[in-house]
Structure 1
Amino acid sequence: MGGIDPERFLRLVRGEIKGPTASAARMGLGLAAAAYGLGVAARNAAFDRGLKAVHRARVPVVSVGNLTLGGTGKTPMVEWLARWYRARDVRVCLISRGYGRADAVNDEALVLEENLPDVPHLQDPDRVRLAEIAVDELETELIVLDDGFQHRRLARDLDLVLLDALDPFGLGRLFPRGLLREPATSLKRADAVIVTRADLAPADRLAAIRSEVRRRNATIPILEARHAPRDLVDGDGSASSLDGLDGREVAAFCGLGNPEGFRRSLESLGCRIADLRVFPDHHPYSAEDVADLVRWAGASGANLVLTTQKDLVKLRLSNLGDAPLRALRIGLELLDDARPLEDLLAALLPESRPVADA
């Protein structure tokens, strides 16, 4: 969003900022969203009608994507898929555009590199070219395309779409009036929907999400998942258990598309949050930011500072002043029968590989 304060933008589009100036701004954003929607519709129609070329890789491609701006938990889903296929001895390569860094791999790539050291990850806007490199140079047998739902140049054999249970449909409006990258009708292209952070939503909300998905795609498998806290990691990647967090006062900060999910994860562990500081998604921490965080941590009075793994891989610190700094590492956990998804994944296995868990 350029130089716009993301928190203020969200408050504006949610209607939390009142007054004639805010109303006029929302009207302008609505006009911009209408133009954006025409562009999205024209682009999708061009692909649907074969007016834009689609390139097929020589190996199966599984895409993980979403409908909205902001975090829906794609990185944990990508990791889950890579682990599923690696457990069956499939040579997997991850490919993505590489948002957030112009000069090197971005934060999601650093997290995946730390958690999946045996799975290569290629980043470039030209993902068709990356697919060729993956097959020709890395002998890849299957590609996982990260954030691929809108990237239609590369054909995919399986389209998985993630919906965040806390805000599944981006306020119901296209960007910039809302947070939708494309309308919910696009779910007709999906092969399965995974509702993430389902453990943080009440049953009636989950039922409403399922109903809305069914309106767009009557037969699609719908699964629910949560971001399960696994452990704490320090700046060197060393892990420690979650024991002792229940009832402990902590300060926390993050640079996420959905900071509310992080806050709720900490609360689910019993943490008492003295202060939560939010940075923009993909925030590149500077030396000034670190010095400011040291002052902030000291003023909070907490003797432990928690962040996300996505933030810590950019900082590589184990302390902020006198306070230990740890990242909460999470993993995706399916909450219901995984067989509908696993059946789709198994259909893409090389013939020589076992379907059952390794």
Structure 2
Amino acid sequence: MGRIDPEGFLKLVRGETRGPLATIGRLGLGLGAVGYGLGVAARNAAFDRGFKTIHRARVPVISVGNLTLGGTGKTPMVEWLARWYRERGVRVCLISRGYGRADAVNDEALVLEENLPDVPHLQDPDRARLAEVAVDELETELILLDDGFQHRRLARDLDVVLLDAIDPFGLGRLFPRGLLREPPRSLRRADAVVITRADLISADRLSAIRSAASRLNGAAPILEARHAPRDLVDGEGDASPLDGLAGRSVAAFCGIGNPEGFRRTLDSLGCRIVDLRPFPDHHPYSAADVADLARWAEAAGADLVLTTQKDSVKLRLSNLGPAPLRALRIGLEILGDSAPLEVRLASLLPEDPPIRE
């Protein structure tokens, strides 16, 4: 089977691709979404009514997840939470399903390993089993469940759900007709809602998203966050400041769930983007891809090539042909008052916190 063209799929489901074949294609995707929705509803009902077993870990579990396919900023949120607890001396372990690489840990795990070297990360589809391993073998005091909103086998003490401000509700349709993994009403299971990339939209649009989230779940606090650019990283992991990006001719590429978010972040830095090339999420770059990207960057006339840290950790290159290659490293920054979330985080701190020397 050939690779799915992410741009082509998005244009189709958004209605940007016109013509009889596109119309038939959207009808077919709509029928697929009906079946998908029935499956999601049946699975959630099985957990809600106790037909499926929910396993509870012996330590608190915080899940970070979303309603949609594609990137909402889960990895930066997980990193922010891990740092919050590590600063308070709590032994944290990250657990996730693991996907995107058959032979090793995936790209998101590599990013977290680079940014959080003192936090272990376990990957396996059986996350209930991983929770036991984390406690028994790593003496973990708190578990962060990455991309865990739909993984209901493992009980959680706090469900943090992210909404991407650029497209918070996945075009308003279930996959494959849209990008929703489950209906928006599922947001009622959330204990806290974080609107990511809130700085990239208008105040009116942000207010509308907050209102929609509040209607779906009036009990959960709603926070706003941005993906704050931190620095540039080369293939060796060495960092350099962001100074000098404004006005510079940049070619960019990424294999992430939301390439538009990456484009807007680069725009906010004042880059002159001569071309942006998207790849499918979790794209495994081959030698042929690297050679092709080098030719593409040279043809674009860019004097710098930028990508995401998630892509860079798989490439480990500092140049593409004659052009330098750098990854834009970002960190999550809560905008406004973070107290409503931090109060909930503090309630899960160990009763006898470790003594710092």
- Scaled to the shorter chain, the TM-score interval is over 0.9
**2-side partners of 1:250 and 1:161: how far apart?**
33
Q: Which residue of 2 aligns with 1:237?
A: 237
Q: Which residue of 2 aligns with 1:219?
A: 219
Q: Which letter does structure 2 place at the counterpart of 1:300?
A: A
Distance change in 2, residues 1:2/1:96 (3 Å): farther
The answer to which of 325-334 and 25-34 deviates more is: 25-34
> RMSD in angstroms over aligned alpha carbons?
1.1
Residue aligned with 2:145, SS: strand
The CA deviation at 1:2 is 7.4
Q: How does 1:67-146 map to 2 (within 5 A)?
A: 67-146=67-146
Q: Which residue of 1 aligns with 2:65?
A: 65
Check conservation: 2:163, 2:194, Cα contact below 8 A: yes
Q: Residue deviations 1:302-343, cap 9 Å, x none?
A: 111110000000000001111111000000000110000000
Matched, 1:162 2:171: no
Number of aligned residues: 354
The CA deviation at 1:4 is 2.3
Q: Which residue of 2 aligns with 1:148?
A: 148
Q: Which residue of 1 aligns with 2:14?
A: 14
Residue aligned with 1:291, SS: helix
TM-score of the superposition, structure 2-length normalised? 0.98
Q: Which residue of 2 aligns with 1:346?
A: 346
**1-side partners of 2:246 and 2:158: how far apart?**
40
Check conservation: 2:4, 2:280, Cα contact below 8 A: no
What is the percent sequence identity of the aligned residues?
82
Q: Which residue of 2 aligns with 1:276?
A: 276
The CA deviation at 1:98 is 0.7
**1-side partners of 2:174 and 2:295: how far apart?**
39
Q: Which residue of 2 aligns with 1:308?
A: 308
**2-side partners of 1:188 and 1:227: how far apart?**
25
Distance change in 2, residues 1:284/1:323 (3 Å): same
Matched, 1:202 2:166: no
Residue aligned with 1:57, SS: coil
Q: Which letter does structure 2 place at the counterpart of 1:180?
A: L
Distance change in 2, residues 1:349/1:2 (3 Å): farther
The CA deviation at 1:5 is 1.4
Q: Residue deviations 1:79-115, cap 9 Å, x none?
A: 0000000000000000000121111100000000000
Q: Which letter does structure 1 place at the counterpart of 2:181?
A: R
**2-side partners of 1:294 and 1:35: how far apart?**
43
The CA deviation at 1:353 is 3.0
Distance change in 2, residues 1:153/1:237 (3 Å): same
Q: Residue deviations 1:96-149, cap 9 Å, x none?
A: 001211111000000000000000000110001110110000000000000000
**1-side partners of 2:9 and 2:303: how far apart?**
33
TM-score of the superposition, structure 1-length normalised? 0.97
**1-side partners of 2:80 and 2:160: how far apart?**
13
**2-side partners of 1:135 and 1:202: how far apart?**
44
The runs of at least 4 aligned residues of structure 1 exceeding 4 Å deviation read: none
**2-side partners of 1:229 and 1:164: how far apart?**
17
Residue aligned with 2:324, SS: strand
Q: Which letter does structure 2 place at the counterpart of 1:63?
A: S
Q: Residue deviations 1:188-230, cap 9 Å, x none?
A: 1000000000000111111111111111111210000000000
The answer to which of 112-121 and 15-24 deviates more is: 15-24
Q: Which residue of 2 aligns with 1:26?
A: 26
**1-side partners of 2:95 and 2:187: how far apart?**
22
Q: Residue deviations 1:258-287, cap 9 Å, x none?
A: 001111111111110111111111000000
**2-side partners of 1:204 and 1:175: how far apart?**
27
**2-side partners of 1:187 and 1:106: how far apart?**
27
**1-side partners of 2:252 and 2:188: how far apart?**
39
Q: Which letter does structure 1 place at the counterpart of 2:349?
A: L
**2-side partners of 1:252 and 1:35: how far apart?**
37
Gaps of 5+ in 1: none
**2-side partners of 1:4 and 1:303: how far apart?**
30
**2-side partners of 1:125 and 1:267: how far apart?**
37
Q: Which letter does structure 2 place at the counterpart of 1:332?
A: L
The CA deviation at 1:171 is 0.3
Q: Which residue of 1 aligns with 2:181?
A: 181
Check conservation: 2:98, 2:105, Cα contact below 8 A: yes
